[in-house]
Amino acid sequence: MAYNPKNRQEEIPIATPAELAAALRAGGYAVRETHGRTFDLHTSTAICHGGDSDHKLGLAFDADRRHWNGHCLTGTCTQTAILHRVQEASGLAVCRCDACFQNWREGATAAPGGHFARKPTPTPQSNANKGAESRSKPKSGRKHGADMRDYAAQLWAAARPSTEGPGRDHPAGQWLRRRRLWPGGVPLPDNVRWLTRQRLPGGPATRPLSTAAGALALAMRPLSDPLAPVHKLQLIAIDANGGKAQHWHNGDKRTYGADPSAVGLLTHWPVVADLTGCDLHVCEGLADGLAVLAGLPFEERRGSAARAFAYARAGQIAVAVLAGKSYQGIDPAPWATITLWPDADDADALPAARAQAQQWADQGHLIEIARLPTGYDPAGFAQELRETQND
């Protein structure tokens, strides 16, 4: 079936100026905005060919037609090439060429079972409303922190939930299997999704060299409000073979949003508003959190990864992933017990955990510290245990 330009104009969702500016800033670009009859955006780097002088790339947004135009001020790049590189840098749609429209159409269809199901794409009308709302705000009201929270929410909405567990050959499935973090065929927790490479933000020095096939996305919310909108998100880039992907200039991880009270909550049941009385385990990274939720606390006693997983799934266990080392987002009051899992490959982790545990214990809370062998984090220790088992 053929689609003419008018249909494409109406169907494909295009990033608003506020969305694109926030995404480029998150990728490390300095962005200058000019507001007039059209919205003009300039970056300090010519994204299209790697220039490094001020204002070498100009983008103009036609609000009436919802159309982006690109202008390279230092070279002879075509508009399509410019917009394609901007899409790669930002993870957002700005081009309506035939190839981009076909990619968008394929990305909007249902995924086969056993993989990450695609989320419905927002309608152009909803995006238009967002764009109109953004344009109606005074320039002084646009704050970088608010932009980052909004951008985290947009990335989360674009990510795909794990409906039946990642497929065996899916990059996320290979990542889980090679690290023995999660049993095959079991959906991941609700707060973990997959963000495709097409949607993955990038940094100015890494896009052409990145091996990322996509990233696992961890939603982070305050524990006091597990159903709150996602305004903080951690991404872990993974290559096609399930290995780490150095997608950003500083590694395979990047966090968007800056809510110090937000943590990644992992449970075996759909996220609910009240977790009072559950046992909370606290760790630093997503891999650690999945290892703990999959039964690491019971692994040695049960002697089997499968039995440990079944035992953990039947219990009232929740895991808080800090995505860092700060315990600021943890309120000990609602939990029956709290177990801290400091990395044993970090000399500072155990003293910090002891200090926090003592503070909470002095308040009358039941706190434990899981001691790992020297050189291990929870994910590494779980892998070591499970590689010796036959199930």
Give me the sign of the Cα torsion angle 307, 313, 317, 321.
positive
Residues 206 and 228 sit within 8 Å (Cβ to Cβ): no
CB atoms within 10 A of CB 301: 10
- Nearest C-alpha neighbor of 319 from the set 285, 367, 356, 273: 285
Residues 215 and 171 sit within 8 Å (Cβ to Cβ): no
Give me the helices (H) in the chain, please.
5-11, 17-26, 79-90, 98-107, 124-136, 144-158, 171-178, 286-293, 299-302, 305-314, 349-362, 378-387
- The predicted structure's pLDDT at residue 351: 94
User: In angstroms, how far apart are the furthest CA atoms of the chain?
Assistant: 69
- The predicted structure's pLDDT at residue 9: 44
Q: Which amino acid is at 358?
A: Q
DSSP assigned state of 141: G
Six token digits for residue 266: 């992992």
CA gap 118, 355 in Å, rounded: 43
- The predicted structure's pLDDT at residue 208: 61
Residues 188 and 212 sit within 8 Å (Cβ to Cβ): no
Q: Which residues are CB-neighbours of 145 under 8 A, at least 6 positions away? A: 258
Bridge partner list, 89? none
Residues 72 and 33 sit within 8 Å (Cβ to Cβ): no
- The predicted structure's pLDDT at residue 278: 93
CA gap 213, 197 in Å, rounded: 5
Q: Which residues are CB-neighbours of 248 under 8 A, at least 6 positions away? A: 202, 203, 206, 237, 254
- The predicted structure's pLDDT at residue 307: 87
Q: Which amino acid is at 53?
A: S
Q: What is the pTM of this model?
A: 0.66
Residues with pLDDT less than 70, the chain: 1-13, 26-30, 35-58, 61-66, 72-77, 101-146, 202-208, 250, 300-302, 389-391
What backbone phi and psi angles, to 5 degrees, belong to 336?
A: -70, -50
DSSP per position, 193-212:
EEEEGGG----TTTTTT--E
Residues 49 and 138 sit within 8 Å (Cβ to Cβ): no
- The predicted structure's pLDDT at residue 54: 45
Helix (H) or strand (E) segment spanning residue 245: none
- The predicted structure's pLDDT at residue 263: 96
- The predicted structure's pLDDT at residue 111: 30
- The predicted structure's pLDDT at residue 36: 56
- The predicted structure's pLDDT at residue 319: 97
CA gap 157, 155 in Å, rounded: 5
